[in-house]
Amino acid sequence: MEPTQITATYPTQTQANPPLIKRGATDYFRYTYKTRKLLYYIVGTPLSIAFDIMWDIKYIGRERVPRRNVIFMPNHVSHLDGFLVGKAFFPTRPIHALADEKLFKHPLSSWFLSNLNAFPVRKRAKQLHVVKYAIELVKRGKNLLWFPEGQRHKQPWLRTLNPGKVGAGWIAHATRAPIIPVFIDGAEKAMPVGKPPTKGPGFRKIKITVEFGRPVPLDEYYDLPEGKETSKLIVNRIMQAIEELRPKYHYEEREKYLKQQLQ
């Protein structure tokens, strides 16, 4: 397999235009990939095995995903989410995924993630170069994983989703690629926000379910002009498709929780 090289440009620091926030991985990461199949396999194989040892992972609906390049858009409850989606199609179908720039601080972890086709993004920051880079990836025939919520849900036990960010709608509108909604259940227990990975008590494994939905129908939005309003309409439809994949028992838990709050 020949190396794949993709380059995206982004603003650089100048005296006339100083950065508004502290520079981080997204400012130094060159967004240039030379991905080789052998290295991708060597890095990903032990990680995939480790996941199977640690947790009981079940995949549903992989047959619903078209064979062409697509954009996976899952809910986000754990740092494990991107790896779980990538594992579903490893090693035959590499997926490029965004990750919190804090994970790229150490040279070793940056090398590891880069060879799994991850690229950094800064939370709570409007980084147009990252969105443009993602669009370029898809237009070049790559599979993309993008979290429409923008960041992990800090209270997943509420059984709700964070509002979708317009960047996800922009990518969908610009690429016209199939958008695959994904619901991940259980990763919030396997690696809660702010805590390291954990296994179940004793010999019991934490159960994780990853369900892939059918492509979200968005044709009615493609003729609309590009802009924030159109992107918002698209991302709202995507979030609805993700919510529709939520396991039924979560709705029962949510109803029980609300009744307790009313008492």
> Could you tell me the CATH number of the domain that includes residue 103?
3.40.1130.10
Structurally, how many domains does the chain consist of? Answer: 1
More confident site: 110 or 54: 54
pLDDT reported for residue 35:
67
Domain assignment present for 19: no
Give the single-character DSSP code of 158.
G
Mean pLDDT of the chain: 88
pLDDT at 22 over 70: no
Q: Identity (one letter) of the amino acid at 4?
A: T
Closest CA to 35 of 94, 123, 98: 94
The pTM for the full model equals 0.86
User: What residues have CB less than 8 Å from 2, skipping those under 6 apart?
Assistant: none
pLDDT, residue 259, reads 78
In a domain, 17, yes or no: no
58 within some domain: yes
Residue 24 and residue 220: Cα distance in Å, rounded? 39
**pLDDT score of 15:** 46
List the beta strands (DSSP E) in 122-197. Answer: 143-145, 179-185
Output the pLDDT for position 29: 77
Tell me which residue range forms the domain holding 141.
Answer: 25-262
Evaluate whether residue 227 is within a structural domain. yes
Percent pLDDT > 90 in the chain is 63
Cα 121 to chain centroid, rounded: 11
Residue 6 lies in a domain: no
Percent of the chain with pLDDT over 70: 89
Say yes or no to pLDDT of 19 above 90: no
CB–CB of 129/150 below 8 Å?
A: no
What are the C-alpha distances in Å from 140 to residues 14, 70, 134, 137? 31, 11, 10, 5
The pLDDT value recorded for residue 96 is 96
Can you give the pLDDT at residue 46?
96
28 vs 54: which has the higher pLDDT:
54
